[in-house]
Amino acid sequence: MSKFTRLQKAKCVLWLAEYGQIKNVKENYENEFSGEDIPTQEQILQWYENFKTTGAVDEQEKVTDIHTTTYEKETGLLNFFGFKKIHRCHPYKMRLNAPLEKESLEERKNFARLELNRIQLEHSLHLKSIWFCGEATFYTNGRVECHNLVYMAEDPNNPESQTPTPRKGAHLTVWAALNYDGLIGPFTTPGDVDKNSYRLFLQKFLYELNQIHRLQNKSLYGILMHDDAPIHHEFKDFLNNEFPHRWIGPGSAYAPWPCFSPDIHPLCFFLWGHIKSKVYGKPIDENDTIELGNRICHAFTEITPEMMAHAAKAYKERLKMVIEADGALVDPHHDNENNPSASDIEAMTFMMYSF
């Protein structure tokens, strides 16, 4: 096993992206991890190349695929007759670029227990207070990725279901925050996110959140949740100041985010896959980020209150599944779920012969 942790590797990647010099990376490493071995130039460059290629700092021997979720209103005959209001399906799969380690399994179980206890103690208040935040990268060629994962097609006849679309063409980083009954964003920046753009995302979010609470005549109250992406490690002090003891993420005293857990993050298992399914119906010119941004913004306008509520409730249910699975990744879907069920076919047949 490597003597360097994933956090140490991720920090080196972040510093190299920010400063562009190995010397600066080693200086920052020595200051933050005083007394520990300093990685070589070759190791730092290898981690950086791994991250550019796979989205993870380690060379990967195996990947894991998990279904995404989306919530669509039925528009056909079944909905007309009141059989279904919301249909749950999985338009994409998330391909994780790293396996779970034993330590991660324990982190996930501990986090799930802690969150479920809070939900039970505060009833619906805790669940409705969480703002699930994060960013994803959208390429003009159809690739969508976020921390440690890339979204791939579910259709076995589609080449993208076996090999991810390559990183090619212009791209946007898109940030959003989803709540039980609210959605803030999207906020976008050209290319990759950096400290300045991420700080701006958070500042915009705070402004919008203030406006919402002012209109609702409520005091500022909310819990910000983001995952363990490398850039997020840089904002512990900012969040401690703006959300004192009310934020979830790397370095949080309230609740540190468990590594490799996109299966319980609503932006990962729902939002980004849903937006991808709406954006790439027609090809986009390689460098046309304006068209890409317009399509993303339009897709966000189609997110309904029912979808947001379903995603937040699914967070609670998936926490329970994590405990039942002893910390393993959870996937509530099965491969044939998108096909009509026997009851659906029976209902449609009945209605067809009733007219």
Looking at the fold, whether 189 and 213 belong to one and the same domain comes out as yes
* Verdict on whether the full-model pTM lies above 0.85: no
Q: What is the mean pLDDT of residues 141-148?
A: 89
Residue 264, token pair as written in the block: 């319980």
Looking at the domain assignment, is residue 153 inside a domain?
yes
For the chain, give the percent of residues with pLDDT over 90. Answer: 45
What pLDDT is recorded for position 35? Answer: 83
DSSP reduced 3-state for 65: strand
According to the per-residue pLDDT averaged within each range, which of 45-49, 145-149, 299-303 is highest? 299-303
Looking at the fold, whether 72 and 49 belong to one and the same domain comes out as no
Spatial CA neighbour of 77 closest among 348, 349, 276, 353: 348
Sign of CA dihedral 215, 219, 223, 226: positive
> Residue 94: which CATH number?
3.30.420.10
Looking at the fold, whether 38 and 106 belong to one and the same domain comes out as no
Looking at the fold, whether 41 and 111 belong to one and the same domain comes out as no
CB 325 within 8 A of CB 205: no
For the chain, give the percent of residues with pLDDT over 70. Answer: 76
Q: How many domains, the chain? A: 2
Looking at the domain assignment, is residue 235 inside a domain?
yes
- The residue with greater pLDDT, 153 or 193, is 193
Which residue carries 């550019």 as its tokens?
Answer: 52
Looking at the domain assignment, is residue 287 inside a domain?
yes
Looking at the domain assignment, is residue 346 inside a domain?
no
Give me the domain span that covers residue 17: 6-54
Looking at the fold, whether 247 and 102 belong to one and the same domain comes out as yes
Give the DSSP letter of residue 355: -
Q: What is the mean pLDDT of residues 238-257?
A: 92
Looking at the domain assignment, is residue 237 inside a domain?
yes
Looking at the domain assignment, is residue 30 inside a domain?
yes
What pLDDT is recorded for position 176? Answer: 96
For the packed helices 41-54 and 6-19, what is the interaxial angle rounded to 10 degrees? 90
pLDDT band with cut points at 50, 70 and 90 for residue 23: very high
pLDDT at 76 over 50: no
Looking at the domain assignment, is residue 191 inside a domain?
yes
> Which of 49-53, 133-137, 282-286, 343-347 is the least confident region?
343-347
Looking at the fold, whether 130 and 47 belong to one and the same domain comes out as no
pLDDT band with cut points at 50, 70 and 90 for residue 6: confident
Looking at the fold, whether 17 and 70 belong to one and the same domain comes out as no
